[in-house]
Structure 1
C-alpha cells in the first residue's frame, strides 16, 4: 500500500503510450501539442484513461483533461516534481 506522501504521477512518455494505445496509433505519431480530441480521443476513450490512471492512484479528473486535451498540458497537470 502506498504511503500518503507517495503521490503517483505519469510522465510524458507514459501519457503518450497510454493515449496511443487508446487511439490505436503508434506513440511516435502523437505530438506533445496535438489536440487529442481532434485526433479522435472521444469522451469514452478519455474516461477510460481517467479510470485506468485513477486505479493506479493518480489524482486526475475528466474535466481537467478535457479542457486542455494535449500531452504537454496533461504532463504539467499530472507530473509532480
Structure 2
C-alpha cells in the first residue's frame, strides 16, 4: 500500500476530518480531547499513522493531546528513506 508521507499539515487535516472541522480551526496548542477527539477516533489516527510507518501508540497521543506535541512525537519517528 502506498501512503502519503506525514507532514504537520497532513496530520492537522487527519484530525480535522475526524472532528468534522476545517484544518484551519485546529490550533497547534488546543487540547484535542476537549474538541471532541474520543478514544475511537484516536485509535483511528494511531492506525493511520502506523500504516504510514510511524511507531506510535494510543498512550503516546493521549498523554499530550495537542497537535504541536503530536507533531514533535511523529516527526521524531518518521521513517527515513
Contact kept? 1:20, 1:27, Cα under 8 Å? yes
Q: Does 1:42 align with 2:38?
A: yes
Q: Where does structure 1 differ by over 6 angstroms across 4 or more consecutive aligned residues?
A: none
Unaligned runs of 5+ in 2: none
Shift in Å, 1:21: 0.7
Answer 1 or 2: higher relative contact order, Cα 8 Å, separation at least 6: 1
Show the counterpart of 2:20.
Answer: 24
Equivalenced residue count is: 75
Asked if 1:64 corresponds to 2:60, the answer is: yes
Instruction: Calculate the TM-score normalised by the size of structure 2.
Output: 0.84
Tell me the residue number matched to 1:73: 69
Segments of 5+ residues of structure 1 without an aligned counterpart are 1-8
